[in-house]
Amino acid sequence: MAAPANPILRVGHENAHAFVVAMLEASGVSSKNAPIIANGLVQADLRGVESHGVNRIPSYLARIRNDVLDPKAEPTLTEVTPVVAQVDGHNGFGFPAAHLGMGAAIDMARTFGIGMVSVKHSNHFGMSAWIVRQAVDAGFLSLVFTNSSPALPVYGGKSQLMGVSPIACGAPSGENSKPFILDMAPSVAARGKIYKALRRQEKIPSDWALDSHGNPTDDPQEALRGVMLPMGGPKGSALAIMMDVFSGVLSGSAFAGAVTGPYDMSKPGDVGHFFVAIKPDLFVSLQDFKERMDVLYQRVVGSEKMPGVERIYFPGEIEQLTEEKRLKEGIPYVQDEIDALNAEAEKLGVAKIRLMPN
């Protein structure tokens, strides 16, 4: 039998992390920030969110080469009130700015019960769930909002205006439950999934996007020329506007269609984010909170199933199960993706990504 045209190759998560760190450091990113960026990207691949993983590296490096993203920028933090702070990303990677922002929100919440941080002049931070995890791992509830470049028409509109900006939030679990991690784009599917299909030469479901003539399409290239479809009509459109109010209007960053996309090399992204961290024992004891999360989890996953449904999952649980598997078995990439990453590495004089033995 002939070998598949685009075979699956596996990479251990530590090797994926080390490879990304080496590429970033060779591109001028500090040894403090490179592991933060690598962590966000590798976590996405581990969780099965390959649309926002290591394969984003070539586009990020192209932004550096085109002088529209500053690899050396250090985000700065300014206290606004004891529970509110602002981060300026200074047009560096979105990951360190987000990490600094959520870290500050957690510190404020630890002391005062709640912490709120607005981030301006930032860039794409990948998958929101890694920032939710930062709070969950520290024992806090969180909200993680961002805006993004135009991709989605507002309800009734014809052309791209709002971003496919993910709404994300989380809560720590009890002893007998999984953490609640919601991370969803307000479109039927994230635009990154279309880029992933393009990379892998796959078709997309025809309800994800319209082509430039306003017709449904299963061709990722045509979809990228057209518009993403909001989920739930006016409701998805309203959620995308909500992300822009909290992340763009409030922060002082770009908004109302003015954010530059990660694949547009003409100017800086000027992305805005908004983070809140909340202490779980503000209104009930910590023990009570955890027991109540256990009850909620058990009620959700133990719900009576529809015919044909094998298992009911809590939000974030499928991704967590994928992560457990990939931590052991490695992360699957297709040959074309590995080749594209190695081509970038060669340009930078960095060693190729280390594959797992077959």
Ligand X SMILES: NC(=O)c1ccc[n+]([C@@H]2O[C@H](COP(=O)([O-])OP(=O)(O)OC[C@H]3O[C@@H](n4cnc5c(N)ncnc54)[C@H](O)[C@@H]3O)[C@@H](O)[C@H]2O)c1
The residues of the shown chain that bind ligand X, judged by CB under 6 A, are 49, 51-52, 124-129, 146, 148, 164-166, 168, 182-185, 189-190, 192-193, 313, 315-316, 318-319
51 or 173: whose CB is closer to ligand X? Answer: 51
**CA atoms of 223 and 192, how far apart (whole Å):** 12
Pair of tokens at residue 199: 């990379």
95 or 140: whose CB is closer to ligand X? Answer: 95
Least distance (Å) between residue 59 CB and ligand X: 12
Q: How would you classify residue 252: left for phi > 0, otherwise alpha for psi between -120 and 50, otherwise beta?
A: left
**CA atoms of 320 and 307, how far apart (whole Å):** 25
18 or 265: whose CB is closer to ligand X? Answer: 265
113 or 332: whose CB is closer to ligand X? Answer: 332
17 or 124: whose CB is closer to ligand X? Answer: 124
Least distance (Å) between residue 149 CB and ligand X: 8
83 or 277: whose CB is closer to ligand X? Answer: 277
CB contact set of 339 (below 8 Å; sequence gap of 6+): none
Of all helices (H) and strands (E), which one includes residue 285? none
Q: What residue has token string 């590429």? A: 23
Least distance (Å) between residue 21 CB and ligand X: 21
**CA atoms of 169 and 315, how far apart (whole Å):** 10
Least distance (Å) between residue 114 CB and ligand X: 23
Residues 49, 323 contacting (CB under 8 angstroms): no
Question: Any idea of the CA torsion for 244, 250, 253, 255, to the nearest 10 degrees?
Answer: 30
Least distance (Å) between residue 259 CB and ligand X: 9
**Closest of 253, 266, 279 to residue 98, by C-alpha:** 253
With vertex at residue 340, the alpha carbon angle to CA 335 and CA 342, rounded to the nearest 5 degrees, is: 95
Least distance (Å) between residue 216 CB and ligand X: 18
Least distance (Å) between residue 15 CB and ligand X: 23
Least distance (Å) between residue 320 CB and ligand X: 9
194 or 278: whose CB is closer to ligand X? Answer: 194
User: With 0-12 CB in 10 A as exposed, 13-18 as middle and 19+ as buried, what is 258?
Assistant: middle
Residues 142, 182 contacting (CB under 8 angstroms): no
Largest CA distance in the chain: 67
22 or 92: whose CB is closer to ligand X? Answer: 92
